[in-house]
Amino acid sequence: MIKTTTLWPGKWIPLLVLLFIALLYLIFFPVNYDFDGTVFSQFLRYGLAKGDLITIKQPQHPIYMPVNYAVYKILDKLFGYSVLEYFHLQLFSLVFGLALLWFVYKILCEITGYWEVGTAGLILTASAYGIWYYTVEAEVHMPGLFFTAAGMYVLFFKTHNKDGIGVDIAAALCFVLAVGFHLTNGLMVFSLFLIFIIEKYSFKRICRFFSIYFLFLLGGFLVFSWLHRFNFFDYYRTQFTGGDILAGYRISYWSGKTPVALWESFQSVAHGILFPCSSFLGVISISIFIGGLAVIVVRSIRRNKNSNKLLIYAGLWALPYFIFFSFWDHRNIEFKLHVLLPFLLLWVSSLVDFFKSGRRVPVVILLVLTAIIGFSNFFSSVKPSADIENNREYGLAEAVKKSTPPGSLIVIAGCGPRVSIVSKIYFPYFGHRKTLNIDWVLGRDRRMEEIERFLKREKARGVPVFIFSDLLEDGEAVRLLLENHHIDETGYSRFLRSLKPDEKETVRLPGNYYLKRF
């Protein structure tokens, strides 16, 4: 397809670079634990303890937990593998993140013909905040991004690629696995269709590929639905029309159809390159992104044949994701990874076209950009996240663990300020204490009276029951609880009085938080 001039150093220098990146990522694994990652870790811990994952449903990413459960069990069986579940999920992301970087290298070599440019592009991609963050976090996104990139490479970028059915099966399987790690990766179907049409693929080839794709996809959905007795149609209907109720209260992720929302969506891609921990870095982040776009636009006007192929493939890869996620949870960087990665590929290849003198100038520019982006992200975001002293929620969970008896039940809210949201999963996972999340219970059509009776029964059984301070004071957590579940203040006050918290037994926690025992 595209002839490369990859020399023999390109066989081992990129591998050494990748090894260095792996060590850097490992050394600075974050301990300011991600909320979603802690949820996944708690689910994995629960599944491993029970020896059963069927009871754990994650329709947004149906194969993520089963695969990790199986990998953990196999490693434990073979090597006595027994690590913190969160660390296991971080390692899982790391493996796929590094494999993704290798595909970045391969794609750039195919397009530009220079292994030096591919290596510099690999380093730049690794330094981008979104790629770095999700490669070292216990998150679902890196495996999905890897399989998408693998599918794109097999279909469009691999030299001497053939149009046989084997290629279609391999690529379709990659794209379906990406959907299995996060359903939003299904947006690639629109990208693929547009690429096939623009590249004038035969009608027979298009039908064959999508027949294989949907056969794999529907087969996977049917297996998941049968195992979990789960209705995907109802799930999608609720997500898109009724709001997400998994949090315990309805949340609509649709964004406002305004120029401000579009600008914020644009910003979230820039922040995936350089995270703005200050207003100064915010300006730098946007400037770098706009500068990259300008280089891409100028390159596209010159109409180099090979570069235009990448413009088509990468541009159409990113387009459906940017459009959809400009209307759905538009500020969230994790949903812009499929915009960020194609942008970086285009940016790197554009520099090669922009400077006609060869590889040297583009490589130097890429390394300078990497230094700016990488050092900024490292000192403002990565290094602080690797310091446990900066994790106040972990300190809270540790204090709860030390200050309450084993088997205690902590009553918490499910929404409110950051500490409330994060602690609702930190308490059970890092604090090893059972929790009763009032938002989750009320979100399952229960009433305050039922919660009251349950807590009194637990207390009568001798269970130590504590209530977190966010629920005892007027503030955002209580305001949102009343608002989300249509509870009047009088009824909530009566609920607290009926439980008669012991004023004498107050457990003081860091940051002016506390627990009161019933």
- More confident site: 89 or 485: 89
Q: Report yes or no on 179 lying in a domain.
A: no
> Among 211-220, 254-263, 282-291, 304-313, which stretch is predicted with the lowest mean pLDDT?
304-313
- Which residues, 6 or more positions from 473, have their beta carbon under 8 angstroms from its beta carbon? none
Residue 411 parent element (H or E): strand 409-412
Among 240, 241, 128, 246, which Cα is nearest to 184's?
Answer: 240
The residues facing 449 across adjacent strands are none
- Overall average pLDDT of the 193-204 stretch: 93
CA distance 380 to 109: 32
- Give me the sheet containing 513-517, strands edge to edge: 434-437, 409-412, 465-468, 513-517, 502-509
Q: Report yes or no on 160 lying in a domain.
A: no
- State residue 242's pLDDT score: 65
Residues 328 and 395 in one domain: no
Residues 456 and 344 in one domain: no
381: confidence class by pLDDT, cuts 50, 70, 90: very high
Is the predicted pLDDT of residue 452 greater than 50, yes or no?
A: yes
Residues 403 and 346 in one domain: no
Q: What single DSSP character describes residue 257?
A: S
DSSP one-letter string for 31-49 = -S--HHHHHHHHHHHHHHH
Provide the CA 268 distance to its chain's centre, in angstroms: 14
- The count of domains in the chain is 2
Q: Report yes or no on 422 lying in a domain.
A: yes
Domain boundary among 354, 380, 414: 354
Residues 499 and 407 in one domain: yes
392: confidence class by pLDDT, cuts 50, 70, 90: confident
Q: Crossing angle for the helix pair 259-273 and 279-302, nearest 10 degrees?
A: 90
The answer to whether the CB of 177 falls within 8 A of the CB of 77 is no
What mean pLDDT value characterizes the chain?
88
The answer to whether the CB of 400 falls within 8 A of the CB of 410 is yes
Residue 406 φ/ψ, nearest 5 degrees: -55, 145
Residues 425 and 483 in one domain: yes
Q: Report yes or no on 434 lying in a domain.
A: yes
- More confident site: 280 or 484: 280
2: confidence class by pLDDT, cuts 50, 70, 90: very low
Is the predicted pLDDT of residue 300 greater than 90, yes or no?
A: no
The answer to whether the CB of 352 falls within 8 A of the CB of 112 is yes
- State residue 390's pLDDT score: 87
Residues 397 and 511 in one domain: yes
Residues 398 and 513 in one domain: yes
- State residue 5's pLDDT score: 46
- State residue 501's pLDDT score: 66
Domain boundary among 305, 325, 354: 354
Residues 339 and 456 in one domain: no
* 513-517/502-509 β-pairing: antiparallel
Q: Report yes or no on 258 lying in a domain.
A: yes
Residues 423 and 489 in one domain: yes
Q: Which domain holds residue 509?
A: 391-517
CA distance 333 to 355: 31
Is the predicted pLDDT of residue 407 greater than 50, yes or no?
A: yes
Residue 97 parent element (H or E): helix 85-112
Q: Report yes or no on 505 lying in a domain.
A: yes
504: confidence class by pLDDT, cuts 50, 70, 90: low
- What does the pLDDT look like over 69-82, one tens digit per residue? 999 999 999 999 99
The answer to whether the CB of 128 falls within 8 A of the CB of 268 is no
Residues 410 and 507 in one domain: yes
- State residue 446's pLDDT score: 82
Residue 491 parent element (H or E): helix 489-499
Please indicate, yes or no, whether the overall pTM of this predicted structure exceeds 0.75. Answer: yes
Q: Report yes or no on 373 lying in a domain.
A: no
Q: How far is CA 129 from CA 133, 142, 306, in A?
A: 6, 13, 28
Q: What share of the chain is helix, strand, coil (3-state, %, to 5)?
A: 70, 5, 25
CA distance 20 to 25: 9
7: confidence class by pLDDT, cuts 50, 70, 90: very low
Domain boundary among 333, 354, 375: 354
Residues 263 and 309 in one domain: yes
- State residue 429's pLDDT score: 93
Residues 403 and 472 in one domain: yes
Tell the residue number behind the tokens 């064959």, with chain if given. 208
Is the predicted pLDDT of residue 356 greater than 80, yes or no?
A: no
Provide the CA 390 distance to its chain's centre, in angstroms: 22
Q: Report yes or no on 79 lying in a domain.
A: no
